[in-house]
DNA sequence: CTCATCTGCGACATTGATGTCGCATTCCGA
DNA sequence: TCGGAATGCGACATCAATGTCGCAGATGAG
């Protein structure tokens, strides 16, 4: 059984979220095993990080699979596209809670394989964004590649806001989503916020 | 004269923007001096990073000073507030070009003094955001502390998008601004985009 | 010209972290 | 019960990066 291997991964994930520069020794301690044991399971610190990074990309991919991304994109159905976008982002915010450190970890971001795979997944996601533009859901004025970056940036923002205690973990998804979709300006005059996330409006009782 | 000291700082800034984990040796090489010389000017690698971080905070502070932040906030004048917000963000995007690495550098982000000063500056900025809410410029539904994070996140996004070549450096500011203010959804039907940045719309001829 | 100061550098010392190795212990299946 | 495969660990070896020290050349005021 890989019981302890998973324990190490879990500990690493927890530890790195607090201190992204944590050493193998720190991680081993958090996992309650010796440093050598960590090295039995992972050839190097980088290998450990790469595995975590891979898992975070797995989650991303699963989110897109689960949402049937290509089918929804091809459907051209504005409502479906819109709903999928929202579901994806909510999912990402949730995942960021676990793998958030991977968003900005330099070791992970420098690994060629992960970078390549990230690119492929981003391309795939961009397909949805572009379809969303065609369906009138997303602004046609923005470059297709930008959307993914915007999502990424707001994930980082949400994570940081929660980490610093500026927003409650529960609020994060709504904030990210509202900001992403509608921006931060006040809804123009009295018009109903037709572009706000469908679910609970931020500020409403949770 | 501190000629070479400045040269080291400049080299560090350049080098770190490419490889955030660059060693003192890397920086020294980029500056065309020996490693020991770097250490003559900066007690430690951390001290060097802290100085760069300090300078980036100086810029932030200067932007707020230059915009007369408190006066504008107190004025309650929606147009002035709105204009200042836009000017600030444009300024930040420009600064991120130079000090971008500081946005996510773990050494800098872990330094107590810099964190404390960042907090103070963020509080100051939040004053403007809250005034903007009162003036009807920013959404009253969002928590005051969120705005700063949203700006931060989109700066990271813009920086990354430019770094990866997904958007032209010239476009970055418009993209960040539009996304921040109006989000990424298509303007609801045919209504004039009353909340879009006042200057050049993204996509318009530069 | 001369001394004092500043700047730079090569060589050394130290440190923290990484990764390896052989031995002990546990956990099965036969 | 027995044997081997897997797991864990302490101790060691290595390495990369940091930081220190004393000497050498430049610079500049007097």
Exposed, middle or buried, B63 (CB in 10 Å: 0-12/13-18/19+)? buried
Q: Give the tokens for residue B167.
A: 């958007």
Looking up tokens 């130079």 gives: B98
d(CA A95, CA B58): 35
Q: A36: Cβ under 7 Å from strand C? A: yes
Q: Does the structure show a pLDDT above 90 at A87?
A: yes
Task: Flag whether pLDDT at B205 surpasses 90.
Answer: no
Alpha-carbon gap, residue B149 to B117, rounded angstroms? 16
Look up the CATH number of domain A52-182: 1.10.357
Distance between first and last Cα of chain B? 41
Q: Identify the band that residue B81 occupies on the pLDDT scale cut at 50, 70 and 90.
A: very high
Contact at CB, A184 and B158, closer than 8 angstroms: no
A63-79: per-residue pLDDT in tens?
A: 999 999 999 999 999 99
B153 CA to centre of own chain: 10
What 3-state DSSP class applies to A33?
Answer: coil
pLDDT digits (tens, 9 = 90+) for B53-69: 999 999 999 999 999 99
Local confidence band at A194 (pLDDT 50, 70, 90 cut-offs):
very low
3-state SS class at A194: coil
Q: Which nucleotide is nearest to A23 (CA to C1')?
A: C17
Percent of chain A with pLDDT over 90: 88
Footprint of strand D on the protein (CB under 7 A): A 1-5, 33-37, 40-41; B 23-25, 35-36, 39, 43-46
Residue B32 near chain A (CB below 8 Å) = no
Domain with CATH 1.10.357 in chain A: 52-182
A183-205 mean pLDDT: 56
| B157 Cβ under 8 Å from any chain A Cβ | yes
Closest nucleotide C1' to the C-alpha of A25: C17
- Residue A204's pLDDT is 39
CATH class of B45-182: mainly alpha
Question: Nearest CA to A150 among A123, A114, A176, A128?
Answer: A176
pLDDT at A4: 82
Distance (Å) from the C-alpha of residue A152 to the closest C-alpha of chain B? Answer: 7
Q: Where in chain B is the domain with CATH 1.10.357.10?
A: 45-182
Q: What is the pLDDT of residues B90-106, one digit of tens each?
A: 999 999 999 999 999 99
In tens, the pLDDT along A123-145 reads 999 999 999 999 999 999 999 99
**Residue A9 CA to its chain's centroid (Å):** 19
Is the pLDDT score of B77 beyond 60? yes
**d(C-alpha B92, C-alpha A134), whole Å:** 32
* Whether residue B180 has pLDDT greater than 90: yes
Which residues of chain B have a CB within 8 Å of the CB of A15? Answer: none
**Per-residue pLDDT tens over the stretch B13-47:** 999 999 999 999 999 999 999 999 999 999 999 99
Per-residue confidence band for B191, with pLDDT thresholds at 50, 70 and 90 = very low
Q: What is the CATH topology of the domain spanning A1-42?
A: Arc Repressor Mutant, subunit A (1.10.10)
Mutate to test the interface with A, among B183, B194, B196, B206 (most CBs of A within 10 A): B183
Domain span(s) for CATH 1.10.10 in chain A: 1-42
């Amino acid at each position: 059984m890989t019981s302890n291997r998973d324990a190490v991964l879990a500990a690493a994930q927890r530890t790195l979220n607090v201190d992204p520069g944590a050493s193998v020794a720190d991680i081993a301690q958090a996992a309650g095993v010796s440093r050598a044991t960590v090295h039995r399971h992972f050839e190097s610190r980088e290998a450990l990080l790469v595995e975590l990074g891979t898992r975070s990309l797995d989650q991303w991919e699963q989110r897109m699979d689960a949402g049937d991304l290509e089918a929804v994109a091809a459907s051209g159905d504005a409502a479906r596209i819109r709903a999928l976008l929202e579901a994806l982002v909510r999912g990402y915010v949730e995942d960021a809670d676990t793998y958030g450190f991977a968003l900005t970890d330099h070791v992970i971001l420098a690994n060629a394989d992960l970078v390549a795979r990230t690119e492929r997944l981003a391309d795939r996601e961009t397909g949805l964004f572009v379809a969303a533009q065609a369906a009138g859901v997303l602004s046609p004025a923005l470059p297709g590649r930008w959307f993914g970056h915007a999502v990424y940036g707001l994930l980082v923002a949400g994570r940081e806001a929660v980490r610093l205690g500026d927003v409650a973990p529960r609020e994060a998804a709504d904030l990210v989503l509202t900001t992403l979709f509608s921006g931060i300006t006040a809804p123009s005059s009295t018009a109903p916020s037709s572009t706000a996330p469908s679910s609970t409006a931020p500020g409403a009782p949770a």
